Amino acid sequence: MKGLVISGGKGSRLRPFTYTGAKQMVPVANKPILFYVVEHLVQAGINDITIVVSPETGDQIRRETGDGARFGAHISYIDQLQPGGIAQAVGIAREAMGGAPFVTFLGDNFLTHGIVSYVNAFAASGDDACIMLKKVPDARQFGVARFEGERLVQVVEKPKDPPSDLAVIGIYMFTPRVFEAIASIKPSARGELEITDTIQWLLDHGDNVRAEVVEGEWIDTGRHDDLLSANRIVLETLPGDISGGEVDELSKLHGRVVLQPGCKVINSVISGPAIIGERTVIENAYIGPFTSIDRDCHIVESEISGSVVLEKTTIKHLGHRIEHSLIGRDVELAGDDRKPRGYQLILGDFSRVRVP
């Protein structure tokens, strides 16, 4: 089997982060979301992977993800020149798939339990397609599966009255039959070729479409709160490892803390789970639980908890604790007030903020 990762789109739900970068490259526990996707495919024995990218962010994804060697894979790229829906993105990869069955994985979807068992089951089944489902408390914002008994009969897009609590998530498995379906459907009201219409075409034409309910956590990281939730989940699973960093005798580390190579902790307290990136300096500061600080950052006389901070960012002399926040790349955040307060911030790359 081959892998197809859809990593286009403008990431409007994650702005201002995505004005200057791909949403799939925002890190969770200091690793881009897209890297987790590629690792899931490789773990399932899929090492021939094609990534569909947009003109706006394709260069960044190519540069940071590379040819796949670091993952034990071969990665190639296709440009989706105009946004036309998930099904359109699948359709332009027909030649790259070369007649093989393949897994389609949206590049901003996050799973905790991987896809190995589902891939193996599909490969052995002889089915024409497979959709992955997850029980959700409110299915009205998703494509929703409808069953007759145990047989999947329909996929309904964002229904006001959902026929089940099983949402269609961004992982699909197809044989080349899907390309006939894509060629046969028409654009939706929003002008896109919908993957739900593609699946419905297969069902209507008697193709075997299996449905699998995923175990563990699934998160569509396209929103700020969801990205923080994914960061929290990963940090909860990381074993502590401080061997890569330097910690002076005045500092205290509690719980599971990961110090990546070259980072320094000076007269500071870190309460895990937390991860500190390469060459980052934490000085006279407090880093609270569920915080990821990326590489080449400098945190001085400040408090941060439950947050994600991207690379090359400086936060200094804040009298306010930063909580439940996303702070982008190359940000400078400074202040001189010592009153105990808490702020929630969403700062895009290259922001400059002074807190009065």
pLDDT in tens, 275-284: 999 999 999 9
Same domain, 18 and 149: yes
CATH number of the domain encompassing residue 264: 2.160.10.10
107 vs 266 pLDDT, higher one: 266
Report the distance separating Cα 339 and Cα 39, nearest Å: 44
- For the chain, how many structural domains are there in total? 2
Report the distance separating Cα 167 and Cα 338, nearest Å: 47
Vertex 80: Cα angle to 9 and 59 (nearest 5): 75
Same domain, 160 and 252: no
pLDDT in tens, 51-95: 999 888 889 999 999 999 999 999 999 999 888 889 999 999 999
State the pLDDT at residue 281.
98
pTM here? 0.89
Domain limits for position 270: 241-355
Please list the residues that pair with 271 across neighbouring strands. 254
Average pLDDT of span 163-179:
94
Residue 138 has pLDDT above 90, yes or no: no
Average pLDDT of span 140-152:
88
Same domain, 332 and 228: no
pLDDT bin (cut points 50, 70, 90) of residue 139 is confident
pLDDT in tens, 297-316: 999 999 999 999 999 999 99
Token pair 């959902």 is found at: 162
State the pLDDT at residue 236.
93
Average pLDDT of span 129-145:
90
Q: Which of 208, 234, 260 is the last residue of a domain?
A: 234
Residue (of 169, 35, 43) closest to 115 by Cα position: 43
Q: Which of 174, 201, 234 is the last residue of a domain?
A: 234
State the pLDDT at residue 3.
97
Same domain, 171 and 36: yes
Same domain, 246 and 110: no
Average pLDDT of span 185-201:
90
Q: Which of 214, 234, 254 is the last residue of a domain?
A: 234
As a whole number, the mean pLDDT across the chain is 89
Residue 41 has pLDDT above 60, yes or no: yes
Report the distance separating Cα 294 and Cα 27, nearest Å: 8
Same domain, 248 and 122: no
